[in-house]
A and B are shown apart, each in its own frame.
Chain A
Amino acid sequence: METQIKTIKSIEALGENIHTGQKTDLTDIVERLYDLGLRAGLEIQILRKVSFGKITIMQFDQTLLALNETEMSCLKF
């Protein structure tokens, strides 16, 4: 997979739960994403997907993060 550069437009607390596939309130997950340094306007580099394509490895500044599908669904690009 080639690296992709994306800019986060917003982080939304109404995301998709990976187990149910339904829209769920993910406020606590969004709070954690903010704790980890993600925010609207941030440019991130998506490096690769691991664990059968379900986990996304990304980089911004000197930070490397691994997010699952539910967490990624909160990020709007």
Chain B
Amino acid sequence: MSEILNSTNLKSLNVVLVGSPNSGKTTLYNWLTGSKHKTVNYPGATIEFSKGELQTELKEKFKLPQFSQYFIYDTPGVYSLSPKSADEEVTLKILTEQKIFQIDLALVIVDATQLNRQLLICQQLNEMNIPFQIVFTMNDVAGKEGLLISEKEIANHFALNQILKFDGLLGQGLIEIINFLNDFQIRCYKVLKPKWDLSSVQNITNDLNHLYIKSVEAKKERTKNSPLAKTLKIDQYLLHPFFGAIIFLILMTILFSSIYWVAQPFMDLIDNSFKFIAEFIKNNIHGLFADFLSDGIITAIGGVVIFVPQIFILFLFIGFLENTGYLARIAALVDKPLSLIGLGGRSFVPMLSGFACAVPAIMATRNIKSKKEKLIAQFVIPFMTCSARLPVYALILGFLFADKNPVFAGFGMAILYFMSIVVGAVASGIIAKIVGGTEKSQLSLDLPLYRAPRFKILLSQAIDKSRSFLFRAGPVIFTLALILWVTSNFPRDFKNGSLIDQRAAAEITEQSYAATLGKNIQPIFEPLGVDWRVGFGIISAFAAREVFVSAMAIVFHVEGEDDAKTEGLLSKMKNAKFESGKYKDQQVFTIASCVGILIFFMIALQCLSTFAILKKESGWSLAMAQLVSSNLVAYGLAVSAVQMLKSFGY
């Protein structure tokens, strides 16, 4: 039992919003706080919750404000206070431990159409002795469904003076809620922590069922236009064995295309803007500091910001699917196929997003309730063929099929895409076995009634996620990118600090710590059939996979832009020979070595941004385990393939 002692002279009021998923909790939160909120991590957990302050214009409505500040906290949705997932645990911890702030009042948001089960949280808060107030949402829907609710009966049961009501669409009832908050009398209380076992849950459920029967009267006939009737009608198509699958595929194609194509112009704009700034600095400031600013700082910041359009679009779309009620149905539709590889329906969208970029995809795994599935999804997502791999694949396939019909290169690309799925499925199966079958498969999906989402809320959620990425994963990506810049550009002659031309850049690169490291570890790359220059490319690709192509262009002394650079590089690759070592004077790029490079890039976890987001989502140890194991497996498989092909004379 923990003791909370709230002093009576507190200047601020801490209100926590608690409720089931889809109860309208976040909608009320947004009405109360507007844009005045930030995302907070619970200590020791990766789960976030939002902290905001009552909007100034709402505060101005008080004639005599009782508190100087009104803090509002939005917690992860829960079905009960017996947690079954990591985010539900965070809600319980916020309520019981009160580490970050002391709760003065819990506002329990209850969907008026779901009183048969959502009053459970109120009962549990009552048993925990936490002061709470019930707010009914979806009152219009309850009316259309023909539900007559005796609010007095429910208020009496929980010893409350009243039940507040709120309409999320028009904001009706907001004034009553803020007046209630202003009039609220803070009381001292001790948090009790009852143990709810199966038998006590059964008793609570039976009690609440009696309350439900007493307080809710359902008219027998439901109109054809009631929200439930409409939902059942829509579900005839969206959950139809054939049409449901077609609609699902179309929607997912739109989602995938959006992440990939809609984001592209914005990513190009960001890329070009940062290139322009870097060029501007180079043209106006000279010396090492200019190089540091342009190639180090500006490039590193650009490398972080460039992911924002994809993250924003992904979360906007996921928010849309979730708020309309369709996301839960997707999870149900694909649950069985994904269960074959240890995943569940909730893993589908993150996995699909992985084909665009692993960074937003890993962030999207937050929607997965099961720890086991979340772990598997986070491990498997980096195997999906993200857009950053495409320049590398295009270069190597372009080399392999240079003299052949371009259709072969296209076919090769398709095989690489397919193989990434196979690798992901195999890895998923292996991890599922390692993690163990002790975790029982849970779906238990609540399918909300279909409804039109509020665009303002979708926008606000997508902005929050993008901001969260920038401020949490950003510093890690930025630091690592800077380290890579230093190792690729030093040591150098300080008298000629600034890069004058491509030749000078190449010379510095050849003498850099990264190149020296590459030369020293050439014996590691030799079994892959490549020399230190490709090794340098592979090391550079740890900043971002697509950097491989420009790094290769630098070490092979290729000048020019884009197409001319690729053509020049392909030509140099044809004639490239080992300069030293046991393969001296032998061709570097053969069928064997190219296949080796492709296999390595397909499996290896090189992308620092992905590593940074993995570290943020699952901690250092799991991220490191994934980094080491993926790269070792990639190396082992690539070496095996190269040696086997070499033995056949390729």
Contacts and interface: CB of A to CB of B under 8 A. Distances in A.
A and B together in one complex: yes
B72 to A, nearest CB: 25
Given A54-B335, A55-B335, A30 B441 contact: no
Contacts of A57: 235, 239, 332, 447
B137 to A, nearest CB: 13
A68 to B, nearest CB: 4
A63 B20 CA distance: 13
A28 B332 contact: no
A50 B239 contact: yes
B443 interface: yes
A44 to B, nearest CB: 12
Contacts of B511: none
Nearest to B239: A50
Given A54-B335, A62-B145, A13 B79 contact: no
Given A31-B84, A34-B201, A55-B336, A71 B241 contact: no
A17 B441 contact: yes
B196 to A, nearest CB: 8
A20 B559 CA distance: 61
Nearest to A27: B198
Contacts of A33: 444
Contacts of A76: none
Nearest to A1: B241
B155 to A, nearest CB: 21
Contacts of B79: 32, 35-36
B443 A63 contact: no
Given A19-B437, A32-B84, A62 B114 contact: yes
A39 B114 contact: no
A5 interface: no
Nearest to B328: A66
Contact of A31 (B117, B145, B201): B201
Interface string B437-467: 1001111111111000000000000000000
Contacts of A62: 113-114, 145, 147, 228, 449
B202 interface: yes
Interface in A10-59: 13, 17-20, 24, 26-37, 39, 47-48, 50-52, 54-55, 57, 59
A51 B336 contact: yes
Contact of B333 (A18, A36, A51, A67): A51
A27 B440 CA distance: 10
A2 interface: no
B84 to A, nearest CB: 6
B80 A35 contact: yes
Interface string B256-279: 000000000000000000000000
A53 B201 CA distance: 30
Contacts of B337: 51-52
Given A64-B231, A71-B442, A39 B333 contact: no
B369 to A, nearest CB: 10
B444 A29 contact: yes
Interface in B220-246: 228, 231-232, 235, 239, 241, 244
Contacts of A37: 114, 116-117
Nearest to A20: B437
A68 B440 contact: no
B597 to A, nearest CB: 38
Contact of B114 (A28, A63, A66): A63
B332 A19 contact: no
B139 interface: no
B332 A66 contact: yes
B205 interface: yes
Contact of A61 (B198, B218, B244, B328): B218
A42 B354 CA distance: 42
B102 interface: no
A20 B205 CA distance: 31
Q: Which of A18, A54, A66 has the most CB of B within 10 A?
A: A66
A70 B612 CA distance: 37
Contact of A66 (B202, B231, B447): B447
A65 B114 contact: no
A65 to B, nearest CB: 6
A20 to B, nearest CB: 7
B334 interface: yes
B82 interface: yes
B244 A30 contact: no
A13 B437 CA distance: 18
A65 B235 CA distance: 12
Interface in B94-121: 113-114, 116-117, 120
Contact of B232 (A36, A47, A63): A47
Given A29-B442, A50-B244, A57-B332, A63 B116 contact: yes
A66 B330 CA distance: 11
A36 B239 CA distance: 21
Interface in B556-576: none
A48 B447 CA distance: 13
Nearest to A28: B84
Contact of B198 (A31, A59, A65): A31
Contacts of B345: 51
A71 to B, nearest CB: 6
B336 A39 contact: no
A34 B82 CA distance: 11
Contact of B441 (A13, A19, A36): A19
A66 B202 CA distance: 21
Contacts of B241: 50
Given A27-B198, A31-B198, A59-B232, 19 more contacts: A19-B437, A28-B440, A29-B444, A32-B442, A34-B80, A35-B79, A35-B80, A36-B79, A39-B205, A48-B239, A51-B337, A51-B345, A54-B335, A64-B235, A64-B448, A65-B445, A68-B442, A70-B441, A71-B443
Which are the 8 A-B pairs with shortest beta-carbon distances? A37-B117, A64-B447, A66-B332, A35-B79, A51-B336, A66-B445, A35-B80, A68-B443
16 contacts: A28-B442, A30-B198, A34-B80, A34-B202, A35-B120, A36-B79, A39-B205, A50-B332, A55-B333, A55-B336, A62-B147, A62-B228, A63-B116, A63-B446, A68-B442, A71-B444
Interface of B: 79-80, 82, 84, 113-114, 116-117, 120, 145, 147, 196, 198, 201-202, 205-206, 209, 218, 228, 231-232, 235, 239, 241, 244, 328-329, 331-337, 339, 345, 437, 440-449
